[in-house]
Structure 1
Amino acid sequence: MSQVNNGSQDGEETYATLRNNANAIRAICAAVEGTLGPKGLDTMLVGSRGEVIITNDGVTILEKMDVTHPAARLLIQVARSQQDRVGDGTTTATVLAGALVAEGVAQVTRGVPVAKVVRGVQEGIAFALRSLARRSRPISGLDDPLLYRIAYIAGREYADLAGLVIEGAKRLGLQKLREEHFRFSDVILSRGKAEGEVWPGLLIQKKPANAQLEFPPDTAHILLFQDAFEPETVDEEALTTDAGFHKQLQLREQFREMLGKLIELRVGFIASERGIDPEAEQFCTDHGIMVLQRLPRAELRRIAEYTGARPLRRSGLRKPAHELAGYLGYAGHVAYDERLELVRMAEGKGRAQVSIVVGASTSEVVGERLRIARDAASSVQAALRGGCLPGGGAAEMAVAHELERYRETVQGMEGFGIAAVVQALRKPLAQIVVNAGYNPLEKVEEAKAAQIAAGSDSLGIDCDTGAVKDMLEQGVIDPAEVKLHALQAAGEVASAVLRIHTVIKMRDPRTEE
C-alpha cells in the first residue's frame, strides 16, 4: 500500500509544474471565452484609479489584465501575435491555445510521454492548417458581397461600422489593401460626439502650433522636417567660449534668412518630428503657414506618402530654393477642423489614402467602437489577401472530423497528441453555443452529424434558434488568414507550455557585483 501511495505522490510531483501552468492558462481563457460569438458578452476592466474600459476585444482584455504567472504570459503573447499579424481573432486564438493545453495535459497525465504528445500536436496542427487552407474561398474583389458580411461579423453586427469600413476599402483600392506593410486598421480614428465618416485623405490628430487657429482652406505646398524646425546649434561645451557663442548667433541669423525661402516656395503647411523655434512659429503665423510639431515618425511618413513630400533635416534649409522645391509635397486642401480638433488634408499628389472617423456619445463607448471598427478593417484586409471560410466554428468542426479520420491511420503514441488537436478544434463552436445558452455536447454532435451527412464544411449552429444552418448562406464568414494564424499560434504556445518541466526563478543581474 505504501508503494502505491509513494507512486501516486511521485506522479503528483512529476506533473505539478504542468498542472500549475495549465491552471494559470485556464484562468486566462475563462476571462475571454465568454466574449466569443454573436451572443458573447462584454468585460468591464477597472483600473486602480477608477478608470473603466468596457470591451469585447480579447487582446484588450488580456493586455489590461494584471497577470504575473509566466505561463499565462505566454498565452497573452498568442493574442499579441494574432493582433500584430492579422489584427483580429485574438479571442479565438486564446481559446484554441487553452483547449490545446488542457487536452494535452489530460493525455500526459494519463501516462502518454510529453514528447509524443507534443509531436502529435505539431503533426495535427500541420494537418489542420493544410485542410483549412484548402477549404478557403477567394474574394472576387471589393464589390464581392461576402466582403460586407466579413466586416459585419467582425464588426459585431454594427451595420454602420461595416459600411464605413467597406466604403473606406473601396476608396483605397485593392492594390493598396494588399500591400504587405499597410495596415488598414491604422486609418481608423475615434472622436466623441462625432458622426461617422470616410474622409478622402488624411485626418491628422494634432492642433496647430500657431497662435491662430483659423487658416484659409486652400491649396498648400507641404514641407516636412525629420527633426526640429529650428536653427542648428553648437554643443553646450562650445557655447562657453566666445567663438562658440558667436557661431550660435551666426546660425540663428542664417536661419532667419532661410525662412524667407518659405514664402518664395509658397509653403502653406509645415510638420516636424520635434519642436519648433518660437521665432519660426511667429514667422509662419504672420504668413498664414500652418505648423504642426512633435508628430510621430509614422505620421510624417503617411503625410509624405500622401502628398509626395520628401522629409528633410533642418540643415536642408540651406539648399537653394530651386533644390528645396524638389522636397515639397502638395495637397489641394488643408484646413483645421476646430470641432474635431484635427487637421484635414485632401487632394494629395501622392498615393491614395483615406481616414475613417468613428464616433459615439461617451469616451468608454467610443473606445470600444474604435476597437470593433479596427477589427472589421483588419478582417476585410485579411480576406482580400487570403480568402474566407465559413464562420461560427463550422470550418474548424469539418477539419476536426477530417483529422479524426487521419488519426485512425496513425500508429504510435503521437496519435494521442493528434486527438488533442481534434478536441481543441471543436472548442470554438462549443464555446459559441455555450455563450448562446445551449448545451455544447448536444449542439457539437448535431453539427458534426449534419456536416458528415451533407458532406459540407459550412454547417453550424444558429445562435438565435439553435438549429443547424449553413453559415455561408447565413452570411457568417471569417477571413481564412485569421483562422490559420490563430491555429498556428495556438499550436506553438501549447507545445511550448507542455514541454515545460521545471520553473526556476532567474537571478536578478542588478544584485550582482
Structure 2
Amino acid sequence: MPNGGSRPIFILSEDTERERGRDAQRSNIQAAKAIGNAVSSTLGPKGMDKMLVDSMGDVVITNDGVTILDEMDVDHPAAKMIIEVAETQEDEVGDGTTTAVIMAAELLEEAEELLERGIHPTVIASGFSKAASKSEEFLEAMAEEISIDDEEMLTRVATTSMTGKRVEANVDVLADLAFRAVKQVAEESDGYSIDLDNVKVETREGGSVNDSSLIDGMLVDEDRDHPGMPRRVEDAKIALLNVAMEIKETETDSEISVTSPDALQKFKDYEEGELREMVDKVKEAGANVVLSQKDIDDIAQHFLAKKDIFAISSMSSSDIEKLARATGGTVVTSLDDISSGDLGKAGLVEERKISGEEMTFIENCENPKAVSVLIRGGTEHIVEEAERSLIDAMSVVSRSIESGKTVAGGGASEIELAMKVADFSDSVSGKEALAVRAFADAIESIPRILAENAGMDPIDTIVELRSKHEGNGKTWGIDAYSGEVTDMLDGGIIEPLPIKTQAVSSASEAAVMVLRIDDVIAAKGEEGGEGPPAGGPGGAPGGMPGGMSGGM
C-alpha cells in the first residue's frame, strides 16, 4: 500500500494467495455444496452406494455418510469444515451424518442467493442462528416419549437407522441385537446413561449375518496359553490380574555367580518354587480361570495346566476392564491380596474355533454390564457394513433411551419443522426474516431429496406433505418403498430426537462460520509450481481439486 506517495509496503509473502469479499464467500460456498452433493444421493432407504478406493487399492462400498466423508481426500478448508459437521454428528449421536451435511450445504446455497440480493452476511448469520434456536424448541414440542422397556418402539428405532443399507435383509436380527446389547449395559441413575464402549463388537467372515449373536459376557480374540489347559470350564471362577506371574527382575543390574551344577539347580528350583507359589495362591482363592493383562511365565503356565486352570495372558487393558464389568470381578494388582471375593463369575468359559481362528467365549454371566456381539457375514464387505450398521443402530437406541424422546422419520419431522420455522419468520423483523425463511427452505430440502432418491416427484410430494401437515398430520412422511406419503408412526419409521436437534445445531453453526469468512489467505505449498495447494483459494473452480467445477 502507498507510503507517503512512494513505494508500496508488502506485508505478505509474494507467493501467498489471497481471496477476499464475494470471491472468498463464493469459493467457500461452492466447496460446501460440492460436499453436500457428494452424499445427497445416499440419503434414505433408496439411496445409492458409493465405492471408495484408497491409494492401496482397498475398496469400501457403503452409503454411510461419515464413512464416505472419512475416506475422501479433501483439501479445501471450507469443505473440511462441512466434513467436521458429519464427525460431530457421529460423535454426539452416532447417526444422521448425511442429513447434517446436506442441511449445512443447503443453508449455504440459500445464503448465496441472499448474498446476491445484497443482504449482508452478518444479517444472514443472525437469522440462521435465531431459526436454529427456535427449531430446537419446535422439535422438542413435536417429540414423543419412549422408555427403555418399550422394546417394540426401540427395535423400530434401530430398524429405521439401518433401512436402505446393504444389510437390510438382515435388519431384524441386527435390530434385536442392538436393542438387547444397549439395554444390558444401560445404567440407571437419574435417568439412564449408556456407554457403548461396554459393548465389544467382534467380526468373523463365514456364515451369514443372521448367524450373528449376542454374548452375555465377553468374547476375547485369544486362545488359552497352554495346550494342556482345559478347553472348556463350566461354573467359571475368574481371577482378573494386572500383575505378572513371573520372576521379577531386580531394579538394579546384578550378576549371580554359579560355581557348580548343584548351585544352578538350586537357583532353578527357587524360581520354580516362586512360580508354583503364585499358582497356588490363585488356586487357593478358588479360581479355575486366569485372565491376565500381564505376562505369565512358561513354567507358571505349566503349573496352571496341571491344576486344570484355563489361562490367557497379555490381554489388553480395555478387555480386562470390560471383563470386570461383565463378570463382577475385581482386577487384582497383587497376588498376595487375592481372595475368593475378587473372583468374577461366568457360567461357561470355552475356547472355540470360529472361521478357522480360536476365540474364547466368557458367557452366561449374571447381569453383565459389558457384553459382546459377534458379527458374521459371507464376505469382508458384508461383515464391515453389518458392523457399521449395528454400531449406528446401537447409537440411536442408546440416544433414544437417554433422551426419552423420539420423532417421526421419513422426512416427517423436517417438513413439520420447515413449516413452523416459515411461520416463525413472519414474526421476525427486517431482512433477518428472509434468512429465517431461507432456513426453512433448507430444512425442507431433506424430504425433497428423500423423494428424489425414491424416484418420486419431489414437487408433488412436498405439496402433499404440506397438505397433510396443515391438517394436523405431523407424523406423515415419505414411504420410499411404496412411493407414497404415509403416517410414519404407523409404519414404524422412528428416529431419536437428538439426531434432529444435533443436525440442525451443527449444520447452522457450520453455515454461520463459513458465512462470516470474507478473507482467505493461503500460503503456497512447499512442492510444485504456481498457486495454492490443491483445492485452496485461487485454485480450481469451486475450490475443488482437479478443476472440477463444484463437483467431486
> Normalising to structure 2: TM-score of the pair?
0.80
Write the distance in 2 (CA, Å) between the matches of 1:41 and 1:213.
51
Correspondence for 2:124: 117
Correspondence for 1:295: 315
Q: Does 1:436 align with 2:450?
A: no
The equivalent position to 1:265 in structure 2, one of 260, 285, 309, is: 285
Write the distance in 2 (CA, Å) between the matches of 1:177 and 1:364.
41
Q: Does 1:75 align with 2:75?
A: no
The equivalent position to 2:474 in structure 1, one of 430, 444, 457, is: 457
Q: Does 1:91 align with 2:98?
A: yes
Write the distance in 2 (CA, Å) between the matches of 1:426 and 1:123.
17
**Higher mean Cα deviation, 175-184 or 418-427?**
175-184
Write the distance in 2 (CA, Å) between the matches of 1:88 and 1:224.
35
Change (3 A) 1:57 1:212: farther
Q: Does 1:415 align with 2:444?
A: no
Correspondence for 1:192: 205
Which of the pair is proportionally richer in helix? Answer: 1
By how many angstroms is 1:410 displaced? 0.6
By how many angstroms is 1:278 displaced? 3.4
Write the distance in 1 (CA, Å) between the matches of 2:220 and 2:191.
24
By how many angstroms is 1:259 displaced? 3.1
Letter in 2 for 1:78: V
By how many angstroms is 1:506 displaced? 7.4
Correspondence for 1:183: 196
**Higher mean Cα deviation, 170-179 or 131-140?**
170-179
Partner SS for 1:62: helix
Write the distance in 2 (CA, Å) between the matches of 1:20 and 1:280.
67
- Cα deviation, 1:60-82, whole Å, max 9, x if unaligned, reads 11112222222222222222222
Q: Does 1:163 align with 2:215?
A: no
Asked if the contact 2:240/2:291 (under 8 Å) is kept, the reply is: yes
Q: Does 1:311 align with 2:360?
A: no
Write the distance in 1 (CA, Å) between the matches of 2:522 and 2:293.
42
Letter in 1 for 2:317: R
Correspondence for 1:220: 236
List runs of 5+ in structure 2 lacking aligned partners.
Answer: 1-18, 258-266, 526-552
Write the distance in 2 (CA, Å) between the matches of 1:153 and 1:389.
12
The equivalent position to 1:332 in structure 2, one of 329, 347, 364, is: 347
The equivalent position to 2:487 in structure 1, one of 466, 470, 474, is: 470
Partner SS for 2:331: coil
Write the distance in 2 (CA, Å) between the matches of 1:422 and 1:254.
74
Asked if the contact 1:82/1:485 (under 8 Å) is kept, the reply is: yes
Letter in 1 for 2:177: L
Asked if the contact 2:205/2:380 (under 8 Å) is kept, the reply is: yes
Write the distance in 2 (CA, Å) between the matches of 1:310 and 1:123.
51
Partner SS for 1:305: helix
Write the distance in 1 (CA, Å) between the matches of 2:49 and 2:148.
33
Letter in 2 for 1:53: V
- Cα deviation, 1:155-200, whole Å, max 9, x if unaligned, reads 2242232233344456567849964242289344332224122322
Letter in 2 for 1:159: D
Asked if the contact 1:105/1:498 (under 8 Å) is kept, the reply is: no
**Higher mean Cα deviation, 336-345 or 84-93?**
336-345
The equivalent position to 1:201 in structure 2, one of 217, 226, 235, is: 217
Asked if the contact 2:347/2:365 (under 8 Å) is kept, the reply is: yes
Partner SS for 2:288: strand
Change (3 A) 1:68 1:240: farther
Correspondence for 1:3: none
Letter in 2 for 1:494: A
Asked if the contact 1:188/1:356 (under 8 Å) is kept, the reply is: yes
Q: What is the total number of aligned residue pairs between the two structures?
A: 486
Asked if the contact 1:185/1:374 (under 8 Å) is kept, the reply is: no
Write the distance in 1 (CA, Å) between the matches of 2:323 and 2:53.
37
Q: Does 1:370 align with 2:384?
A: no
List runs of 5+ in structure 1 lacking aligned partners.
Answer: 1-11, 509-513
Correspondence for 2:542: none
Correspondence for 2:3: none
Change (3 A) 1:281 1:84: farther
Letter in 2 for 1:366: V
By how many angstroms is 1:253 displaced? 6.9
Correspondence for 2:399: 382
**Higher mean Cα deviation, 147-156 or 225-234?**
225-234
What RMSD in Å do the two structures reach over aligned CA positions?
3.1
Correspondence for 1:500: 517
> Normalising to structure 1: TM-score of the pair?
0.85
**Higher mean Cα deviation, 128-137 or 160-169?**
160-169
Letter in 2 for 1:336: E
Change (3 A) 1:15 1:232: farther
By how many angstroms is 1:405 displaced? 0.9
Asked if the contact 1:185/1:375 (under 8 Å) is kept, the reply is: no
Write the distance in 2 (CA, Å) between the matches of 1:114 and 1:496.
10
Write the distance in 1 (CA, Å) between the matches of 2:181 and 2:94.
17
Correspondence for 1:21: 28
Change (3 A) 1:197 1:351: closer
Identity %: 30
Letter in 2 for 1:381: S
Correspondence for 1:484: 501
Q: Does 1:396 align with 2:414?
A: yes
Larger Rg, first or second structure (1 or 2) = 2
Change (3 A) 1:200 1:349: closer
Write the distance in 1 (CA, Å) between the matches of 2:256 and 2:136.
71
Correspondence for 1:66: 73
Asked if the contact 1:213/1:336 (under 8 Å) is kept, the reply is: no
Write the distance in 1 (CA, Å) between the matches of 2:235 and 2:151.
36
Correspondence for 2:443: 425
Change (3 A) 1:268 1:324: same
Change (3 A) 1:227 1:261: closer
The equivalent position to 2:465 in structure 1, one of 419, 442, 447, is: 447
Letter in 2 for 1:412: G
Write the distance in 1 (CA, Å) between the matches of 2:190 and 2:462.
36
Change (3 A) 1:475 1:408: same
By how many angstroms is 1:146 displaced? 2.3
